[in-house]
């Protein structure tokens, strides 16, 4: 009972601290806007909030968010599937690992802007944010998962071999728990990177109906309030997806710790 009260009190204090910190920086923002006195350079948080509310009431707002969200998230999820698959192949076969090394080295070295221009030439702007998000996250997933597989406890694998443990049980009891911390770390990095690179691709490629297009329009019409409002939207949806994805990942890890192998 006391532990529950202490936990609730700690959670409440954390929320209060977060609100106070947020209020502090909003106050700094408001003071800066008043001091500069020009909405073009720095708009007040109240003006941004009013703009954001007016946008939310428009039907086109939700279709725009859905357009960018579906493509960027699809790129991220596709990078997970392909990255894990290639990491498993590389861990199992040294030739595959050697062949893929230059490919991922090139992806890591080429600037995002170069990729964006190439994709615009090859595939157009419709799937631009999906492909760019995929390419930016893929090396992170691949290298982290590969490292996790290579760092798997060899003694445990030898013991499993001696006792003729089936592959699916080795997968659930040895490989997945060993790789999961590396995979989680890769996802945390990739989640932020996919949104930054995906939105940047949209700003350059200007696919119709995307958030990037709305950001570019804000720049063309010198609407700082729209720019801030859409930036808040990007931060909000990326934060919400990140929290939901990492929550699901933690739930999966807890099930794994309890020996639940129904997912196999």
| pLDDT of the residue at 237 | 95
Is the CB of residue 104 less than 8 Å from the CB of residue 83? no
Helix ranges restricted to H, the chain: 2-36, 45-56, 59-92, 94-109, 112-123, 128-150, 154-162, 167-170, 176-205, 211-220, 224-257
What is the average per-residue pLDDT within 18-38?
92
What is the SS3 assignment for 64? helix
What is the average per-residue pLDDT within 47-75?
94
Report the b/e string of 235-244 with b at 16+ CB within 10 A. Answer: eebbeebbee
Q: Rounded to an integer, what distance in angstroms lies between the CA atom of residue 264 and that of residue 253?
A: 14
| pLDDT of the residue at 4 | 57
The answer to whether the predicted template modeling score (pTM) of the entire model surpasses 0.85 is yes
User: pLDDT, tens digit, for every residue of 192-241?
Assistant: 899 999 999 999 999 999 999 999 999 999 899 999 999 999 999 999 99
Categorize the per-residue pLDDT at 160 as very low, low, confident or very high, splitting at 50, 70 and 90: low
| pLDDT of the residue at 110 | 87
| pLDDT of the residue at 12 | 79
| pLDDT of the residue at 8 | 64
Superfamily designation of domain 42-257: MetI-like (1.10.3720.10)
Ranges of each domain in the chain: 1-37, 42-257
110: phi > 0 → left, psi -120 to 50 → alpha, else beta; which? Answer: beta
């Amino acid at each position: 009972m006391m532990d529950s009260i202490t936990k609730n009190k700690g959670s409440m204090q954390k929320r209060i601290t977060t609100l106070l910190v947020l209020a502090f920086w909003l106050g700094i923002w408001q003071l800066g806007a008043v001091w500069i006195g020009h909405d073009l350079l720095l708009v007040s948080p109240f003006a941004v909030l009013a703009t954001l509310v007016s946008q939310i009431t428009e039907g086109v707002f939700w279709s725009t968010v859905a357009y960018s969200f579906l493509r960027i998230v699809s790129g991220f999820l596709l990078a997970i599937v392909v990255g894990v698959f290639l990491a498993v192949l590389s861990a199992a076969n040294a030739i595959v690992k050697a062949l893929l090394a230059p490919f991922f080295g090139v992806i890591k070295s080429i600037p995002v802007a170069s990729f964006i221009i190439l994709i615009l030439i090859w595939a157009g702007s419709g799937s631009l944010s999906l492909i760019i998000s995929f390419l930016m996250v893929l090396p992170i997933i691949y290298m982290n998962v590969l490292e996790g597989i290579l760092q798997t406890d060899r003694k445990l694998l030898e013991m499993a071999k001696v006792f003729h443990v089936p592959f699916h049980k080795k997968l659930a009891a040895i490989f997945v728990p060993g790789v999961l911390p590396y995979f989680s770390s890769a996802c945390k990095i990739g989640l932020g990177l996919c949104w930054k690179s995906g939105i940047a691709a949209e700003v350059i490629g200007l696919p119709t109906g995307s958030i990037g297009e709305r950001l570019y329009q804000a720049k063309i019409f010198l609407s700082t309030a729209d720019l801030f409002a859409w930036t808040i939207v990007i931060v909000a949806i990326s934060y919400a997806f990140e929290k939901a994805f990492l929550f699901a990942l933690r739930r999966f890890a807890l099930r794994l710790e309890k020996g639940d192998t129904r997912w196999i």
